[in-house]
Chain A
Amino acid sequence: MAEYRTHMKIIGDILATTRDDLRDEDGATVTYLIRKANISHSRISRILKTLVSQGLLEQVDSQGSNKYKISQSGREFLQAYYTFTNFAENFGLSI
């Protein structure tokens, strides 16, 4: 059975993908993120728009296509996310 993921967990997965999985300095394409985060195009588009507006991701125009790179704020957010995921897990909860 598929594991239920909270909105926060999906955001964490997207940021972790852009931080850990990419050797390409140009960033990740939407298609790559959809495959890794396993969510629909319309949903990931909304999330990416929010993450860019919050300064957690940087949008890069590369050879005519949009790519996404994690920003410094995104890295700090991800670190806080992991710390407080662990904190909430101590209470048997997920953030």
Chain B
Amino acid sequence: MEFLLENILNLVGFLVGLVIGIMSYIGFRNTGSPTLFRLTIAFFSISSGFFVIWSGYMIEDFVLKSGNIERWIQTLGIVIQTVGYFFIAFSHSIKSFFPKSRYFRSIGIFPLFLVSSVQLEHIFRSISFILLAYGAIETMLSYFENKNKGTISVAVGLALLALGEFLGWYSFLFPESILYSISMIIKIGGLLALFIPISKVPLTKIKFDEGLE
């Protein structure tokens, strides 16, 4: 059951991220907007992250048959997704996410070499949670300003992804519980909520750049 949910989640994440990434890229090519460029990086990263984890499960299931996904593949996928979540949060003006001090910047990366990939996974899950929660709050605040129905769907989507990420991170305390499966179902719901408003963008009316056709 967990394996099936994991595969559905990663495939849905890969496809939703890819579609939104492509649409952002088309928008960037047509308007040159830096916001759309950041969204392009964000959603291509999210899509790639889900794809890496999905590939890991497939390789494990059909090639290695070890019964457990290689931990570093899962960690790598989560790190790539976190980069995407960072760019969503960054688009909402996180301008001082990294410490400004040169000293902190120089040692900031050092502790990562002292922890195992399991701990790294939990560190990046918690970072993802913070970024997603920030993105959800900012998007919700934007909804109060523009009253755009699509905005509330994206806010709910980001909030569900944040909740799923939190439960996924918390589930390491209860490894055999249903918590991890619930977190995956919530994340699938979040990805679908993200996709709903994007699916209504009338792209057919736009004459795309020659190179994109």
Contact = CB atoms under 8 A, between A and B. Distances in A.
Interface core residue of B36, B92, B148 (most chain A CB under 10 Å): B36
Given A80-B27, A81-B31, A83-B201, A91 B206 contact: no
A77 B30 contact: yes
B91 A91 contact: yes
Interface in A69-95: 76-77, 79-81, 83-84, 86-95
Interface residues of B, number: 34
B141 interface: yes
A90 B153 contact: yes
Contacts, number: 81
Given A89-B148, A90-B150, A91-B88, A80 B198 contact: no
Contact of A88 (B33, B202, B203): B33
Contacts of B88: 91
Contacts of A39: none
A8 interface: yes
B23 A91 contact: no
A77 B24 CA distance: 15
B206 A90 contact: no
Contacts of A89: 142, 146, 148, 150-151
B207 A76 contact: yes
B205 interface: yes
B55 interface: no
Interface SS, A side: helix
Contact of B27 (A76, A79, A87, A92): A87
A23 B73 CA distance: 62
A62 B36 CA distance: 38
Interface in A31-50: none
A34 B83 CA distance: 41
Interface of B: 23-24, 27, 30-33, 35-36, 39, 88, 91-92, 138-143, 146, 148, 150-151, 153-155, 197-198, 201-203, 205-207
Interface pairs A-B: 9 shortest CB-CB: A92-B142, A90-B150, A92-B139, A84-B27, A95-B33, A80-B30, A90-B197, A95-B35, A80-B206
Interface of A: 8, 76-77, 79-81, 83-84, 86-95
